[in-house]
Amino acid sequence: MKFMKLSAAVFAAVKSVWTRGSPFAALTALWPMNEEGKYVIQAEGIRLAFSNHGAALTNLWINDTHGQEIDIVLGLDDARHYPFQTSNPVLNGVIGRYAGYMSGASYEVDGTEYQVTGNAHNGTSLFNGGDEGWGRQTWDIATHINNSITFVLFDRKWNGFPGIFASCLTHTVTPYQWRIAFGVTPLLKPGPINLSQQVFFNLDGFRANASNQILNHELHLPLAGLRFDIDKSGIPTGDIKSNRKGGEHDFWSGSRLVGDAVDEKAVECVKSGTTDCVLDATYMLSHKELGDKEDEPAAILSSPHSGVTMQLYTDHDALHVHTWSQGNGEVGLKKNQGRGKVPTNGAISLEMQDWPDAVNHPEWRNRKTIWGMDGLYTSFATYKFSVEGQEKGH
């Protein structure tokens, strides 16, 4: 058995170095997967499962207020199906090198313009890192213990980006908490970095109502008094707009039902002829200048049905909030979530990221958008869960 494991490790190492240039492939072959091809980590009150394709979260189990274990994220039952996903990133995967749109599919460093391979707007824009973005790559695994897993990836000039970027992504769970630590080391040439992890949540585990929607969820974005303006194609214009109290985008003054926000947007959808009416906006996070970003949540999502409340803390400066759209493709519920397909507004994603397309907006003075060999890129996101009627996490 040991010989077979060693042989598999050697084969995986040779294959990975040849195709992706990763020295961690041998370790990947040694970490055990479950029968669904997933890697599981767990702590008191919380259990997560991942696929190494896109480093995607496949399951997040938590006990609701009724004591039932529910799976509160979208995903696939069999992790081996992730490579066949056509979305970018794959469902609940990492977004990199560059989250959101990069206008012109280009950027400038020290007076030199670099053109990358566009995958949106007829190739004139880059979206979520491109067709070979990090959310569509197979990651290797450096470590995997009971409550933590570390994914690694070596980006060798994918999508036309120059240089090699070595990325490290660690997921750790402690009682009722999940933390993501991002780290990137640029090699050879500097370039832009804007990382995120896309996760679609339904805090009822699709069990609250026949529609399987999250319209009864409450959302509060206490730091989001401003948002980024976009053109008709979704490209940031560079303008920043106010989210006036009581307006369509006011999630900062207090908690608000997702359904009320969708209803308010419905008028706009009817005027534009859109039938798939969803929330979709990127908000600026106004952190306290000298405050600890671990102290004040960027987002609070809760469901009265399950009794689950989720608080998101991050050092990123923007949050892309969008509910599930049929434009994301047809995805079925997992076997423990029921039957049927995920409906419009069936889940919500809170993507932490940098200011969108900041690399092409030098008028936003003193934004760190280009990273070189003289600096390590790091960022974090922490999800804290509590359940009504149960003791909160530590």
- H helices within the chain, ranges in order? 2-19, 25-30, 258-272
Our answer to whether residue 351 is catalytic in this structure is yes
Name the residue among 390, 387, 373, 382 with its Cα closest to residue 191.
Answer: 373
Identify the bridge partners of residue 385 per DSSP, sorted by sequence position.
310
Q: Which two tokens stand for residue 297?
A: 């949540």
Q: Report how far apart, in Å, the C-alpha atoms of 385 and of each of 60, 211, 328, 388, 394 are.
A: 11, 25, 27, 10, 10
CB atoms within 10 A of CB 362: 11
Contacts of 197 (CB under 8 A, 6+ apart): 55, 57, 92, 93, 94, 95, 169, 180, 351, 352, 381
- H helices within 301-365, ranges in order? none
Q: What phi, psi does 305 have (nearest 5°)?
A: -75, -50
Name the 3-class secondary structure at 87. Answer: coil
Identify the bridge partners of residue 280 per DSSP, sorted by sequence position.
322
Identify the bridge partners of residue 145 per DSSP, sorted by sequence position.
148
Q: Which two tokens stand for residue 270?
A: 């009817």
Q: Which two tokens stand for residue 287?
A: 């952190």
- On the 0-12 / 13-18 / 19+ scale of CB atoms within 10 A, 231 is exposed
User: Left if phi > 0, otherwise alpha if psi is -120 to 50, otherwise beta: which for 376?
Assistant: beta
**DSSP annotation of 82:** G
Among 69, 330, 351, 363, the active-site one is 351
Q: Which two tokens stand for residue 17?
A: 């170095």
Name the residue among 263, 334, 348, 229 with its Cα closest to residue 299.
Answer: 348
Name the residue among 318, 320, 122, 134 with its Cα closest to residue 233.
Answer: 122
Residues 313, 285 contacting (CB under 8 angstroms): no
Name the 3-class secondary structure at 23. Answer: coil
Q: Which residues are catalytic?
A: 351
